[in-house]
Chains A and B, each alone.
Chain A
Amino acid sequence: MSLRALWIISPEKGEHASIRFSRRFATVELRAKRLAGSSYVAVPEDDCFLQLLLTELGLSGSKKPFVVKRDDCLYRPRSPAVELHVTGAGKGTLWPVLAISQAPLILACLPLVDASPEQRPPLSSLLSVSQGLSFLAGLQTFLLAPGSKQDGEGLVSRLALLPSVLLQVCPLGTPLELPLSGTLATPSAPTSAGIQKQPAWRTGLHRGRAVVNVSVVETVRSMQYGNRSRQDLWDVYGTVACKCEVEGVLPNVTVTLSLPPNGSPLQDVLVHPCVTSLDSSVLTASSVDSCDGSAFSGPYKFPFSPPLEPFILCSYTSQVPVPPILGSYQLKDEESQLHVSVVLKLHESVKNSFEYCEAHLPFYNRDQMGVVDVKVSSGQLDVSKEKNLLVWALGQKFPKTREVTMEGKILFSGPAPGPSEPLCTGLTAYIKLYFKVPDTTLSGCSVDQHSVQVYSSAKPRIVTSRELHSKDYRIWNSTVPLE
C-alpha cells in the first residue's frame, strides 16, 4: 500500500522529455529491499528511469522505424503497469511501474510489492497498485486543474506546491488522501469538541446559508453507419453532480433520482464513497446483462453526507431505444467532384430546443476545398479557415418537420493538400455532431427539487438542473462499407 517512488514527466514528444518532479521514499525503498532480498532491484536515477520508461511506452527515438526493445511484437500488457529492464550495475526488472498520461504530463510511480520474492504475484493481488492508480489520478487532477492563470504557469505553480502537498497527503510514501484539486488544502477551522467525529475527507465546516445544487448531465455517444450489415450504435451515460453547502460535522442529505413511467432502469450505477447506504436493488441493472422488464426502475435513493467540494454523487448508464438525432451521410465521386448528401432527423421524443447544434464534416487525404457548392435546408454553412472542414451550424431549433438536409458538390482544387488520416481514405468519411440540450435527459432521469432532503435546522435552498450533450457522435458515409 506504499509507493517507492513517484515521477512527473513532461514527454515533449519523446526527444526532449524531462522529469519535472521526482520523489523517492527512502523508508519504503528500504522495505522493498528487505522484502525482496537478493532479487532486489534499486530504483535507478532519474535520467536512466526516464529513458527506460519512454522506451517501454513506445515514446522514444521516434525517428527510428523499428527498435526491437520498443516495437517487439511479443504481447505483454503495457499498461497500467509496465516493467522496466534496468541494465548496468543494478540490473534487473523493475515492476510494476504505473504510468498514466494526459497531455502535457506523464505521471508514474512504483508501488511496493509486499509479497515474498519467489514468484511475481498477479497485478490484481496488490492493493498498492489500485492505490497508486488512484493517487496518480488525484495528482493529475490537482496538477492539471483549470486555473485562472495560463495553463503553463498554473502547472509550474502547482508543481512548486507539490512538496508541501505531499507532506500532507503522502509524507512517507503511503498515500493517505488525495490532494484537493485547485487549492492547497488549508487546515480546517477547529471543530467543536462534539461527540460526532469529523470525516477525514471533510476538510472543514460550512457556515452560512445552506445551498444544495444537484445537476444531472447526460452524454450520448453514437456511431451510425446507415448500413444493413452493420448495426448503428449509441449509448447514454449520466452523472449526478452535487455541491452541498450545508452546516454540521456530518450532515445528512438524500437525493432521489426518478424515472418517468416505463422508463428503462438506470444501469451500472456507481456511487461516491460518501454515500452512506445503498439498497441492493439500485445496483442490480447492468448493461452487460440481458434486460429484465420487471427490473427495479426507481426511485433511486442516495443518502449521503456531502464533502465540502463539488463531487459526482453517482453515475449510471441507460439504454434508450433510439438515438436523439438519426443521420444519413452519402458521398459520391462525380467527375473530380464530390457529391455530398446529408439528412439529419431529430427524434420526436427529444426536446427541440438546443443550446447549440453543429455538424462538422471533415475531409482528409485530399487537397483543400476549392469550390463549395452546397445548399442546406436550415442553418448556416461555413468553410473552415484551413479549407478541410465544413461547419454546419443548425442553431437552436430544428424546423417543424424535425428534419434538415444538405446537398451539393465540392471541388477539391485548393492549392495545398489537407491533413491526412489513415482511417479516412477514399470515401470513408464521417460527420461529427456537437450538440447540447438544456433541461432534458434522454433516459428521462430527473431530480425533483422536493425530493432532495436535507436534515438540518435551516431550510436550504435547493437548485436542480439537467442537460444532455453529445460526445463522439459520428455518422459515417454509407456509400462505402466501413471495415
Chain B
Amino acid sequence: MASGWVERVSAFCGSPSRFLSGTSPEVFLAELLRELRDDRANYNVKVLLLSPLCEYPALLCPSDSVGEETALELMSIFAQSPLKFVHFRSQLLVALTCVLTCSPDASSRLRAFPDFLDLLLQLAQDTSDLHGDAAQRSLRATACDCLREMEALYPGLLSQRLELLGALRHQETSRLHQAYAGLQTLVLRNVVYLLTGEKEAGAAHLKALLGGNESVGWEADQNLGSASGKNTKPLSSVILTPMGTVPTLHTGPDCKELRSALSSLLEESYLFTPLSQAALLYRLTEVVAMVPAIPPTIFRAQLLRLLGTSEVSLLHTTLLMKSAFTDSLFSSEDEAFLLKRLVVFSQHPLLSTPEKLFYMDCILHFPENRPISCGDSDEALPVLLTPRLASALLPVVFNDSATLLARFNLLSLVYLEAGEEEDGRGLEYLYEHLTSLLRIVESGGKRESVVTFFRAVFLFLLHFHHVERYCDNLSQQLCQLYLQHTRFAPHLINLADQTQEKLPDSTWAFGLLKALQRVISQTPLSQVTLRDLSWHLKVLTRAAEEGGIPQHATLRFLSGVITPSLSSLTSSADWRLGNGILGVCRRLLVHPSLDSILIPLADVLQHLAGHYGDTDIRDHARLYYTLLTTLSREKLATVLAHHAEGGQQIKKRTLSCLMTEGEGLTSILTIHETEAAIFRLIETHCEQPEAKDLIQDETERGELETYRAQFGDPTFASQVTLKFLLTHTETRDARFDQLFSIRLHFSLTDDHYSELQDLSVPCLFRERPPPVVALALKPKEPHPTRLHVSAIFTTQDGLTWHTTLPDIHVCFQQIFLPLPAPLSWGQTGRQAVFAGLWEEISGETGECADSLFCCRLEEEALSALVEKHFLPFLVSDPAHKDQFRVLLFLPPQSHVLLKISSEEDAVHFNIATDRWQLLPHINDYLLKITAS
C-alpha cells in the first residue's frame, strides 16, 4: 500500500496532467484525504501524501469551496495528530498554507484563513518547548516561515503583530531567533511601504505599530486596518533600479523606535545564516531607503565584514546596498575597491563557474556612485574598469564555453570603450584568441567547441565589424575552415544570417558569402565528395540570395557537377542531390543579374531536364526551363518573388507545389496555429426520445432476463449521442469568417470513455446558421468528463490552420438514457424490470449500493421537478403522484433507480444502483436540481 502511494504521488508530481487523465482531481484529493485520516497509515507516507497539496493546491482545489473543505479537513487532522510526529505536523502546516492561499480569486479569503492564522500565531508563541524536546522547536520554526509566506502574499497581514514579533525575537535565545527576525523584518518593510501611501499620519502609525505608545497603537491599528492585509498583490522590490523612484515615508527626525528596531536587528545579523542574513540586510536596505530620516550609515558597522565575505549572497546584498545608497554610504575608494573585488571574484580559482559568471554580470551592471549613462542600454561598463584591470579576465582556450564567451564579451566592450580599434594590443589578443579557437575546431573539436567558436566570431563581429584588417582576415580563415570541414556550412550560413540581421550596415556577411562561393567554385571537382557537394549547394543557394554577388562562378560549378565527363557526382541520380541543384537554380531565376547568366542557366536546366536520372528532378528542371525561356524577366520575377514572400494567395499553391525548396511551399505546407479559439461547440438539446408505451404488453415472465439478453450484443445501447452547434467565437477576424473542411478531433482526459472518432464539417460561415455536430460517446465507466477539442481547417486563402476549441464538459445527467427496453414493451414491462432490479440491488452487496437523499420540497415543486428532469426516465405513471419511479440507464450497463416520495417532513429520494461509484455524482446532481 505504502509503496503504491510513493509511486502514485511521484507520478502525480511528475506530470499532473498525465496522472489526472487516469482519474480526476476530486477523486485523487478524496483518496489523499482518506489516507491522511487513516490512523493506521505510516506517518512517513503521510508526509509524502501532503506533497501534491503543497505543489499543486490550485489543481486539487479548483474552487473556493473545495479549498475550504480541504483546509478544514487538514486542520482537523492537525488537531488530532500526535505531537511526536513533528515532521508530519510541520509539513501539514506547509500544506495548509498552500491550500488556504491558492484560491483562484486573489481577493477572496477562505473562511478557515483567520483560524489558521490564529493557529500559526499560537504555535509561533508557544515557547513551552524551551526546556523540552528540541524537535518541537522545528514546528515553531515552520509556523514562523508559514507566517512569513502569508505576509509576503498579503502584505500588511501581520502589521498589527509587529510589536509582538519584536518581543518574541528578543526573548528567543535558541537558533529560532532567526525565524522571528526574518518574519519581523518582512512585516516591518511591508508596514513602512504601506504607510508611505498615507500622507499625514504615517509616522505616528509606524511609531504606534512598533510599540511606542499603546493607546495610540490601538487607534493606529484601526486606521491601518483599511490599508493593511487587504492587499492582494505581493510587493515588488522597491530598490530595483538605481534610477527608479523609491516611495518615501516622512517621519521627521524623531523615529527612535524604528532606529532602535533596525539597530538591534543589524547587531544580531551576524548570528544568522548567510542566506537569511542577506535577505534581512536587503529588507532593511529597503526600509532605510524609504525612510529618509534614517541615515544609510546605520549599515557602516557591517560593511567591512560584508566586503571581505566569501559568500555570494552577502556580497550581492552589499552591491544592492550600493545601488540604493550610492555615495551616501560608499566612498569613491569603496567603489574602486568593490569593482576590483568583483574582477578578482570573476576569476577566483576557488569560486564555482556559475558564481564567477554572476560576478561578471555584476561588473556589467555595476552600480556606480555617479553613473554617466542613463542606464538604458542593457550592459554598461563602469568607468573605473580599465583595460589594465580587465586584463585579468582575458579569455583563454582552457575556459569552459560560458566563461570564455562571457569574458570575450566583456573584454570586447572594454576594448571598444578604450578605442582600441587602431593599434590596440587588446584587440590583437582577442583576434589571436579567436584564431586559437579556430585551430581547435579545425583539428576536430567537439560540437560544443564548434558552437563556442562561432559564437565568439559573432561577438567579435558585433563589436569590431568596422575593423577591416581583422574582419577580412577572418573571412579568409573561415573559408579555409569550410573547405576542410564542409559540415560547418549551416554554422556559416547562420553566422551570415545573424550578422546581416544584427549589423544591417555591415557588408561582412556579403563578403563572406562571396568568398565562400569563390572557394567552392575553385575547388577541383575531382576532390569533391558527395557529402561535400550537398553542403556546397546549401552555401551556393545562400550566396545566390545576395543580389550583389555575380553568379557566373556558381553556374560554372553547377554545369561541371552535372557534366558526366567532368564529374561522376550526379551518376547516382540521387533525388536529394538533384533537388539541391534545383534549389540553387531557383534562386538564380530571381537573381538580379539573370540577364547575364541566362544562357548558362538555361543550359544547366536543359541538361538536367534531359539527362538527370530522377524523373521528378527532370520534370522540375523542365518547368524551370520553360519558365525561364518563355516568361519575360519581369513576369518571372513577379511570379517567383511573390512566391518567395510566403503564401497569401491561392494561386501560389499550385505553383509552389511544383517548386522545389521554395519558401512559399513551407508556408503552404505548414499547419499554422491560431492565436485564440476561432470557434466552439455549444451544447444543443437533442430531441426527446419518443414515448413508446402504446404497444400492448405481453406480460411474460422473466422481463429482466429478456432485458438482460439484449446486452449480448456489445453494441447494444452502448453509446450516448450529444449534439452541439459549431459556432464562431466572439473574436472577429475576417480571415476566419469562411472556413472549409473542418475536421474536429476529440481527445479524452481520462480513461472512462472509448477513443472518439474525428468529425468532419464541410464548412462554417459566420453569417449562416451554425451546423449541428453529433458526437457519439461510448462510456466504459459512466462518469462526468471533460474533452479536449482541436480542429484543423482551411481558410479561403488556402492555408491550413490548427486551432484549439474550449473544452467540452460532459455532465453526469448528459449520460442518462431511458431504459433500453425492447420496443414492443409497454409500461408494465419497464415496471417489472424496475422492480426486478430494485430487488436484486437491495439483496446484493458487491458493486451495488442503496442510499437515501432527503430534501424539503412542496408537492407541486416535486411534480415540476420530476416533469422537468425525469420525465423521459419515468417508469411509473406520471399521474401517480405519491411515488415516482425513475430508472436512469447509463451505458454501458449501469442503472440508477429512484423512488421519489413525499414523506411527512421531507421528500425522500430512495436511491439504488448497481454501481456504487456513481453515488457521489447522483448526490451532486440531486443537490443541484433540488436547490434551484
Contact = CB atoms under 8 A, between A and B. Distances in A.
Interface of A: 1-2, 19, 22-28, 30-31, 34-35, 45-47, 58, 62, 65-66, 68, 70-75, 77-80, 89, 98-100, 114-116, 121-125, 127, 129-131, 133-137, 163-164, 167-168, 171-178, 187-191, 193-203, 219, 221, 235, 237, 239, 250, 268-273, 275-278, 280, 282-283, 286-289, 312, 314-315, 317, 365, 420, 422-423, 425, 472, 483
A317 B344 CA distance: 10
Interface stretch (B309-317, B729-737, B741-749): B309-317
A235 B349 contact: yes
Nearest to A270: B310
B389 interface: yes
A172 B350 contact: no
Given A122-B365, A171-B145, 8 more contacts: A24-B55, A27-B152, A66-B494, A127-B316, A134-B311, A168-B138, A195-B173, A277-B305
A395 B462 CA distance: 53
A127 B320 contact: yes
Given A133-B355, A200-B273, A286-B341, A172 B149 contact: yes
A172 B491 contact: no
Which of B320, B435, B487 gathers the greatest number of chain A CB atoms within 10 Å? B320
B279 A125 contact: no
B354 A80 contact: yes
B643 interface: no
B131 A286 contact: no
Contacts of B455: 73-75
A124 B273 contact: no
Q: Tell me the interface secondary structure of chain B in the complex.
A: helix
Given A127-B282, A171-B142, A483 B152 contact: no
A115 B278 contact: no
Contact of A73 (B97, B175, B457): B457
B317 A191 contact: no
Contacts of B98: 26-27, 172
B236 A115 contact: yes
Nearest to A37: B233
Interface in B129-164: 130-132, 134-135, 137-138, 141-142, 145-146, 148-149, 152-153
Interface in B261-302: 268, 270-279, 282
A202 B178 CA distance: 12
Contact of A31 (B141, B178, B234, B446): B234
Question: Which size class do B's interface residues fall under?
Answer: 35 or more
A133 B237 CA distance: 19
Contacts of A200: 175, 177-178, 271-273, 276
Contacts, number: 346
16 contacts: A74-B458, A77-B357, A77-B405, A79-B354, A100-B354, A115-B237, A124-B365, A133-B313, A173-B149, A187-B135, A190-B134, A278-B308, A286-B344, A422-B441, A422-B444, A483-B435
Given A121-B241, A127-B282, A237-B349, A273 B277 contact: yes
Contacts of A194: 173
B16 A278 contact: no
A89 B350 CA distance: 43
Contacts of B502: 74
Nearest to B277: A273
A75 B406 CA distance: 9
Interface in B444-497: 444-449, 451, 454-455, 457-459, 462, 487, 490-491, 494-495
B305 A114 contact: no
Given A137-B352, A190-B134, A27 B13 contact: no
Contacts of B268: 197
Nearest to B279: A1
Nearest to A196: B173
A477 B83 CA distance: 70
Interface string B32-56: 0000000000000001100100111
Given A125-B365, A273-B277, A72 B344 contact: no
A147 B607 CA distance: 72
A65 B443 contact: no
A270 B342 CA distance: 12
Given A77-B361, A124-B362, A199-B271, A288 B458 contact: no
A68 B498 CA distance: 11
> 3 shortest A-B CB distances, which residue pairs?
A80-B354, A270-B310, A200-B178
A171 B94 contact: yes
A198 B406 contact: no
Contacts of B487: 65
B43 to A, nearest CB: 12
Nearest to B233: A34
A35 B494 contact: no
A239 B349 CA distance: 11
Give the residue among B310, B397, B409 with the most A Cβ atoms within 10 A.
B310
A483 B14 contact: no
A177 B440 CA distance: 43
Contact of A271 (B54, B179, B309, B353): B309
A191 B177 CA distance: 13
B173 A177 contact: no
A431 to B, nearest CB: 16
Interface in B383-433: 389, 392, 397-398, 401-402, 405-406, 409, 432
A278 B498 CA distance: 51
A310 to B, nearest CB: 15
A299 to B, nearest CB: 16
A127 B102 contact: no
Contacts of A74: 455, 458, 498, 502
B307 interface: yes
Contacts of A219: 349
Nearest to B44: A164
A163 B90 CA distance: 12
Contact of A134 (B235, B275, B305, B446): B275
